[in-house]
Amino acid sequence: MRYVLVLFFFLISFSIIAQDLSSVSEKKMMHYRDFPRDTIWPKNSNDYYDNYSNQLGLFLSGKYKTTNVLIKDHLTGKQLDYSPKNQLYLGPGFTYKIIGNGLSASFGFLNGNQGSEPTKRTDLYVNIILKRFIFDFSYRYYKNFTLKNSSDYNLGDQPYVRPDIQTVHLGMGMVYVLSYKKFSYRAAFTQTAIQKKSAGSFMFGTQISLQALQGDSSIFPQSAGLPEVTGRGSLYMGLTTAYAYNFIIKKHYFIALSLATAIEFGKVVTMLNHAEKYTNHTPSMHFQPRVVAGINKPKWYLGMSIVGDYFMQTFVPDDTRFEFRIRSGNIRFFVGRRFNWLSRKQLDKKL
């Protein structure tokens, strides 16, 4: 009788295990049958966001950029407002894992006839966005500026163009996202994730920037009656504090806000009358506001972003006399599509 009971429980256990294996197999077959090959599968998920960085994202964007270089003489109150020719750019781009790149070009039909020689420019931005850390690298080079307030110096009706003035900016930064388990910077600003619940986070980090402005002669017009300032260079390092929040509306609509501020200290050199003046530990402030709004769905996304970048000296020593400020920003429209690169073997692991 004892052996009969053992055999009975063995048969019952075998039947249950066989049914479980059969249900798992049917479940996998059901998944393959119900979901087409181009189904978008997130790399990982939690209660707050889905990470789609494992999918190939292709997008098309249009961007309008603006830049102003302001130089003020605190002794006389006179100020220069130089700007390159602002243009509209159009081009494609891609995102995959932590890599993202965009190519853009200025076309004649977008900007029309701008008269004199266009500004020579190079804009390079690299963003590496991980779960906890964000790394930013930027390089900007502009040559050929126009004085916006030329009427203040009695320079006539024609634009005062300085094809010799050039600027260079090189910047690097890193921030740590405190609430990385709830807030996704990728979802808010690169669309390689989808935020499911509204969330925000403080971010802390550091940054370093190198800036230079140079002209063949004085950047002030001769009619200004000011010393010949032919250039200026600076190297700044500082600490960054930022906060970002992603508002989710009806599941797929979002509005993301971000503000980063940095207090920096560095060394400044001003070229005056073929001489150089150095100022150490000059403090400055750096502000970077961002606003993004759009729709973010598993297969496609679209939206608009507004980004500002403001750099200003907060204290001007008496021996330098001149204050430099740089303001730049852009308005960007974008539309993108995600494509599944996962193999059947990778899908099998997920199912």
pLDDT value at 22 more than 90:
no
Q: How far apart are the first and last CA of the chain?
A: 44
Radius of gyration (C-alpha) of the chain in whole angstroms: 28
Question: What is the average pLDDT value for the chain, to the nearest integer?
Answer: 80
Q: Over the stretch 64-93, which tens digit does the pLDDT of each residue have? A: 888 888 888 877 888 889 988 877 888 888
pLDDT value at 203 more than 80:
yes
Please, what's the b/e burial string for 30-39 (b: 16 or more CB within 10 A of its CB; e: otherwise)?
eeeeeeeeee
Domain 40-350, CATH: 2.40.128
Residue type, 75: L
pLDDT of residue 74: 78
Q: Over the stretch 277-296, which tens digit does the pLDDT of each residue have? A: 777 767 888 899 999 999 99
DSSP secondary structure code for residue 143 in this structure: E
Contact 139, 122 (CB under 8 A): yes
Contact 40, 52 (CB under 8 A): yes
Q: Over the stretch 111-132, which tens digit does the pLDDT of each residue have? A: 655 555 677 888 787 888 888 9
